[in-house]
Amino acid sequence: MHLHFSAEGQTWPIKLTGDAERTRSAMLRTLPMELQLHTPKIAGSHIYWHAPFVEDVEGATHVLDAPAGAFIYWPVRQFLEITFAPLQAETAHVTLLGVLDAPVEGIAALAATLKQDQGRRIVTGTLTPDTAVTPPSRPDSVLPADMIVARQRLWAEMPADIAAATASRAIMHPAGPVFAAEGEARVLHELLWWTRAEIGKRDERALRQTAALALNKTATRLRDFCHMTETPALLFALETAMEGDLPLAALIDEAIIVAGRIGAWLDLLIPWNDINNTFRKALDGPGETR
């Protein structure tokens, strides 16, 4: 089976391979998928977009062993990615879902455009199956309908308070609040993944309290320090739910999807390449290179 990845007027086929049936089914349930593409900040030679599902690693391929053209799911980052060259040093295990069924040079060229343009515009794309698919049905959600609707709204469109985050020209704005907000959301996302891994191993009440405190801390910082109103409300609602009797596993997965999406929207506002070049120049000094 093939998927079609499209962006910037071009389309690339991806051949699904391997035995990661659980992750593949979760992905297929989300198709067709509208994508907002991100440029990497650490690992290097890949493009990625945020995945609207949560699954544990299957097959456990080390990320540095993924060949050029690999189509992977990176669980703790919650990314779907296409590589086009060996990645820079990073320790992580990922799920190998398939391989680009086309020359990698096209993806490398797209990555170069993405690197230059992120923060200036959002580069979009789509992921579609080549044939009609009927993946296994998803069980009915045990979470409240209003929580699901709020998450779907967050997924479909950048919240207004995030979209406005780059408008201020007050002292050290917009960099200060945008960087702070993106960091807060990213750390929350990672902590929730860590909490998820401890379900069944630690006292459930302690895990609920940990998740609730983390959600409160991030929501409070986004509201009080980063001047956001709409986005923190969903995090506060998840905090309240953690202190109730809804199933913990479902709540944690929901919180992961929400926190990851908030972080992803914020990441798209940041012109990482320009910032990195400026940082290098400041460190290197006049006439020096590294």
- Are 126 and 6 in contact, with CB atoms under 8 Å apart? yes
Q: Who contacts 30 (Cβ-Cβ below 8 Å, separation ≥6)?
A: 51, 52, 53
Report the percent of the chain where pLDDT is more than 70: 96
- Are 274 and 117 in contact, with CB atoms under 8 Å apart? no
Q: State in Å, rounded, how far the first CA of the chain is from the last one.
A: 45
Domains of the chain: residue spans and CATH: 2-129 (2.40.100.20), 145-273 (no CATH)
Q: Which residues of 249-285 are buried (b: 16+ CB within 10 A; e: fewer)?
A: eebbbbbbbbbbbbbbbbbbbbbebeeeeeeeeeeee
Beta-bridge partners for 80: 49, 73
DSSP label at residue 64: G
Q: Note the pLDDT of residue 289.
A: 53
Q: Note the pLDDT of residue 233.
A: 95
Output the CA angle 260-252-208, nearest 5 degrees: 125
Question: For residues 105 and 146, what is the distance between their CA atoms, to the nearest angstrom?
Answer: 44
Residue 90, pLDDT above cutoff 90: no
For residue 70, which of 92, 48, 39 has the smallest C-alpha distance? 48
Question: For residues 93 and 143, what is the distance between their CA atoms, to the nearest angstrom?
Answer: 30
Q: Note the pLDDT of residue 134.
A: 67
What does the pLDDT look like over 9-62, one tens digit per residue?
999 999 999 899 999 999 999 999 999 999 998 878 899 999 999 999 999 888
Question: For residues 23 and 187, what is the distance between their CA atoms, to the nearest angstrom?
Answer: 24
Q: Who contacts 206 (Cβ-Cβ below 8 Å, separation ≥6)?
A: none
What does the pLDDT look like over 210-261, one tens digit per residue?
999 999 999 999 999 999 999 999 999 999 999 999 999 999 999 999 999 9
For residue 185, which of 240, 256, 91, 248 has the smallest C-alpha distance? 256
CB-facing half-sphere around the CA of 225: CA atoms within 13 A: 17
Question: For residues 244 and 79, what is the distance between their CA atoms, to the nearest angstrom?
Answer: 30
Residues 179-197, mean pLDDT to the nearest whole number: 97
Question: For residues 245 and 155, what is the distance between their CA atoms, to the nearest angstrom?
Answer: 25
